[in-house]
Amino acid sequence: MRTYLLLLLCATLYGSNFVFGSLLLREFPAMHLSAYRLAVSSVFLIGYLIIAKRMIRLTTRDVVYLIPLALIGMLLHQVSFFTGLQTIDATTASLILSLSPIFTALLARLFLKESFTLRMAVGSLVALTGVFFVVGQGRGLHISLTTGMGIMFICMLAFSGATVLMRKLTERMDALTATAYSTLLGCMLVFPVAVWREPHEQSTHSFGWWVLLIGSALLIQGLCAIIWNNQIRKVGAAKASVFLNLQPFVAMVLGYFMLGTPVTFTQIGGSILIVCGVVFATLLPKKKSHNDPIALTMAKR
């Protein structure tokens, strides 16, 4: 029971990340927000590895996987996440990102030659139908795609691509160590881009905003990474990944109360279809390996 409660806590915090991100964007530019959050989480994770004596010496082959992982999973994913949240509400963003297990399975089929079954195909179709309803907002075939939606789709694809890369890297090291190193490398990549894109950022923000930024980074990108990776060793990746489907509901509820984002019946119906489709496609009846990339790399977010 304790394990499931901890997984539920992580899923809730991951879902709240959309709302906290929207709040922080009212005060911080997107690029600098990405850099600050990665700096806090990388210091925390590397510090944990040092204290736990889990630091390892990287080989050239490790770096070959870490560099694209940092570029796609940290630079592209983090920047597109906060950039997209500038023009899209937290609920819609969370629903789009909830498609990541489906696209991870597709990319794994293309690059890792993993199976993509009829069950996965049906689940994908159901989930995409849910996105259709959310994006269409009840207007039938008249879908209105915004820039924010497009950026969030890129964010989702970046996360799925990083998940596949993480699968290869975890053949050489555990997921938490890979996450810590890739987060540190991602931080080193994002900071120069942030200074170049937003050179006039002034760090004269109030104490409360810094507390929210540091606290959310420590909880969501730091502590949750440790808890999540420890707990999936006990219940398995497949069972753990089911909890992540709660993220859109958390973002929807918190967005309503904290941001005043209206919740429509179309969004509720679409979210139910997305969750059902993802669960149907990814919760396979056979026993899955604990190195399942869908569950392991969620800790990065």
Q: Looking at residue 267, what is its pLDDT?
A: 76
> How many residues in total does the chain contain?
301
Q: Do 38 and 259 form a contact (C-beta atoms < 8 A)?
A: no
What DSSP character marks residue 59? Answer: P
CA 55 – CA 171 distance, rounded (Å): 16
Looking at residue 114, what is its pLDDT?
Answer: 76
Tell me what pLDDT residue 77 has: 93
Which SS3 state, helix, strand or coil, does residue 185 take? helix
54-79 burial, b if ≥16 CB within 10 A, otherwise e?
A: eeeeeeeebeebbeebbbbbbbbbbb
Q: Residue 214's CB: how many other CB atoms inside 10 A? A: 17
Instruction: Give pLDDT, residue 19.
Output: 93
Which residue bears the tokens 């923000």? Answer: 205
Spatial contact of 180 and 45, defined as CB atoms under 8 Å apart: yes
pLDDT of residue 143: 52
| 105 touches 259 (CB < 8 A) | no
Q: Phi and psi dihedrals of 112, rounded to 5?
A: -110, 0
Residues of the chain with pLDDT below 50 are 140-142, 287-291, 293-300
Helices (H) and strands (E) in the chain, counts: 15, 0
* DSSP per residue, 251-292: HHHHIIIII-----HHHHHHHHHHHHHHHHHH--SSPPPTT-
Global pTM reads 0.82
pLDDT value at residue 23:
94
